[in-house]
Structure 1
Amino acid sequence: MKSTGIVRKLDELGRITLPIELRRTLGVSERDPLEIFVDEGKIILQKYEPADIFSGSKDDLVDYCGKKVAKSSIMELAKLAGIIE
């Protein structure tokens, strides 16, 4: 992990501000969703990218009832249901 040398304090509501240089470098814009991970005492922020609810794939997604589903998962489900061979 690479240190940026940037230190920020939490405000009274527990928020931090990401510096504009960091946001530009990582391609994060205002209102972009960020995913939060915890790993061995570290907090990791990552720009959120939707993934298939079944396989986790991020390729060839369609929206179904507010959920992301890969076309390959739809084909597999159709085979399991006996709709296609």
Structure 2
Amino acid sequence: MKSTGILRKIDHLGRIVIPRETRRVLEIAEKDWVEIFVEGEEIILQKYKGYDVCPITGEVSSQHMKLGDGKLALSPEGAKQLRKELEQYLVRA
């Protein structure tokens, strides 16, 4: 595990602030979910990577192909359907 040398105090509600630069590097945005793990005496925070939903088939899986910088997750069947529709669209254009 890499040390950043950053120290933070816990407030009266048990909260800490993750520095902006750390969030930027780890691509953690406002309202993103973060998982909390405990290993021995260590607390580990990790950006939550849940299962993706294919917007075409509705299939849920972590194995979908990611397109558009990870913003679009397609199942194999969803990719086939999208390809077919794109081909039809391009023929008409």
Q: Which runs of 5+ in 1 are unaligned?
A: 61-70, 72-85
How many residues of Structure 1 are paired with residues of Structure 2 in the alignment?
Answer: 58
Give 4+ residue runs of structure 1 displaced > 4 Å after superposition: none
1:58 pairs with one of 46, 57, 62: 62
Shift of 1:50: 1.1
Q: Which runs of 5+ in 2 are unaligned?
A: 53-60, 65-74, 76-93
Taking structure 1 as the reference length, the TM-score comes to 0.61
Superposed CA RMSD in Å reads 1.9
Shift of 1:58: 1.7
Task: Pick the structure with more helix per residue.
Answer: 2
Q: Residue deviations 1:13-69, cap 9 Å, x none?
A: 0000000010001000011000010111100011101149xxxx6213xxxxxxxxx
1:29-44 equivalent positions in 2, closer than 5 A: 29-44=29-44
Taking structure 2 as the reference length, the TM-score comes to 0.56
Q: Which of structures 1 and 2 has the bigger CA Rg?
A: 2
The amino acid across from 2:62 in the alignment is: K
